[in-house]
Amino acid sequence: MVEIKNLLVLGTGLMGNGIGQVALMAGYNVTLVDIVEEALNKAAADIEGGLKKLEAKGKLGEGETAASVMTKCAKSTDLASAVKNADIVIEAVIEKLSVKKDVCKTTMNNGPAHVIFASNTSTMSITEIGKDCGAPERVCGMHFFNPVPLMSCIEVIKSADTSDDTFNTAMDVAKKLPCLRGKRYIAPVLKDRPGFIVNRVNAPVGIYRSYITDYAYENGIPWEQIDADTGGIMPMPPYVLADYVGLDTSYHAANYYAETLHPDFTPGKVTTRMVKEGKLGRKTGQGYYDWSKGRPEPDMSKKAGLLDLELIMAIRLNEGCRLIEEGVVTGWKVIDDANMAGMNTPGPFGAGKNNWEKYTKKLEEFVEKSGREYLKPCELMRTGKFVNMKK
């Protein structure tokens, strides 16, 4: 295994910025690379600002100052030359396959013979990104959660071609990146499947939400009554959250899962129409709620009695069992731990271990009623065999 000293962060937007900061704090020589000079300057300024705050709180390493840490930070707009002495490239460029494949090839054509290319893609196949670069064994995934310095989870993904050496090196680098809130948690993802672990476990809840959304619209049930069904246990109830994230983001993700996993993920009628009309939520001022006067405060006193939180847990448990069946993980604990570390929400297995029979029945009834075949309980869930498997 080559010792990693020089780390290149490619694409210095929201995610690259955070990755750059934690890489510098870990002591790596970091080169920030972006094709847009303003993005580069903003990232360097933001990182320095973040480090200064930590310095003021005494949270930098012994004898270190923001200025001393920043001496290890370089900037470039030219990947081909900047990659010449990089040991690892962590890429956070825009989510476009052609761009990712292109920068992967440039890395392999111009970097040292040992350089590793790690992609932070949320949705794309790592195998596909690395396929034509000339050294697919040195390509892997490193999937961070936003904001990188605060969310402790990093999923490290093995593609169909990633060598053990590349995977182990990426795991090592990930473990060294500090997290400002507790310990870093690294989830090894042993197979390159859509959504990896955290996003995948939660993705099929979208099938249920689409069903409920269309049903509520057709029956004149207001969104706030469905939000009230959650009884205030979530920091943001589902329709406020959907607006906050942006309807376009979940729409694109749903289409991706419809193409890669099952047509049942296809976005519902109401969401599709809203996206086409540009009602994207917070960012456009109108989504399920009106955001023109700030964050909506739905009246939580009247419930629709429509949203079943146990069914949501059942859907997530089923998907977690599928991840075990597919060999993405070797046991269930990593799924629960990654959920907590990546989304601050408990994974499905804690409750699922004792409730799988009830959850299986709920899922079967829902499939019967809704026709959403993808949500049929898989073998591992239906038989409860996961309970006796290695954690």
Produce one character per residue of 62-88: b if its CB has 16 or more CB atoms within 10 Å, e if not: eeeebeebeeebebbeebeebbeebbb
Q: For residues 36 and 67, which CB has a smaller minimum distance to ligand NAI in the complex?
A: 36
Q: Does 14 bind ligand NAI (CB under 6 A)?
A: yes
**Window of 10-18, 190-198, 208-216, 346-354 that interacts with ligand NAI by CB under 6 A:** 10-18
Q: Report the nearest approach of ligand NAI to the CB of residue 281 (Å).
A: 15
Task: Check 199, 250, 318, 339 and give the catalytic one.
Answer: 199
Tokens representing residue 219 in the block: 């029956």
Residue 155 a catalytic site member: yes
Distance CA 63, CA 53 (A): 15
Taking CB atoms, the residue at the shortest distance from ligand NAI is 13
3-state secondary structure of 85: helix
CA distances from 152 to 18, 31, 148, 209, 375 (A): 12, 23, 7, 28, 30
CB of 34 to ligand NAI, least distance (A): 4
Active-site residue identified among 91, 155, 224, 319: 155
Closest CA to 213 of 163, 162, 263, 254: 254
Cβ closer to ligand NAI: 196 or 211?
A: 196
Amino acid found at 228: A
Is 10 a residue that touches ligand NAI (CB under 6 A)?
A: yes
Cα distances from 174 to residues 6, 19, 46, 351, in angstroms, run 14, 10, 22, 29
- In angstroms, what is the minimal distance from the CB of 246 to ligand NAI? 11
Write each residue from 31 to 60 as x if it is in contact with ligand NAI (CB under 6 A), else as -, in one continuous string. Answer: --xxxx--x---------------------
Q: Is 122 in the site for ligand NAI (CB under 6 A)?
A: yes
User: Does residue 143 have an active-site annotation?
Assistant: yes
Stretch that binds ligand NAI, among 9-17, 61-69, 201-209, 357-365 (CB under 6 A): 9-17
**How many chain residues bind ligand NAI (CB under 6 A)?**
23
Q: Give strand pairing partners of 73.
A: 30
Q: Does 67 bind ligand NAI (CB under 6 A)?
A: no
Q: Rounded to whole angstroms, how far apart are CA atoms 218 and 221?
A: 8
338 binds ligand NAI (CB under 6 A): no
94 binds ligand NAI (CB under 6 A): yes
**Between residue 129 and residue 148, which ones bind ligand NAI under the rule CB under 6 A?**
144, 146
Active-site residue 252, yes or no? no
3-state SS class at 166: helix
Give yes or no for residue 70 binding ligand NAI (CB under 6 A).
Answer: no
Q: Is 202 exposed, middle or buried (0-12, 13-18, 19+ CB in 10 A)?
A: buried
Nearest to 8 by CA among 25, 33, 34: 33
Chain positions 143 to 182 lying near ligand NAI, rule: CB under 6 A, are 144, 146
Active site residue 354: no
d(CA 31, CA 19): 11
Q: For the beta carbon of residue 246, count every other beta carbon within 10 angstroms.
A: 17
Taking CB under 6 A as the criterion, the residue among 120, 125, 202, 271 binding ligand NAI is 120
Query: 155-175 in b/e burial notation, b at 16+ Cβ within 10 A?
Result: bbbbbebbbeebbebbbebbe
| Residues belonging to the active site | 122, 143, 155, 199
| Residues within the interface to ligand NAI (CB under 6 A) | 10-16, 33-36, 39, 92-95, 99, 103, 120-122, 144, 146
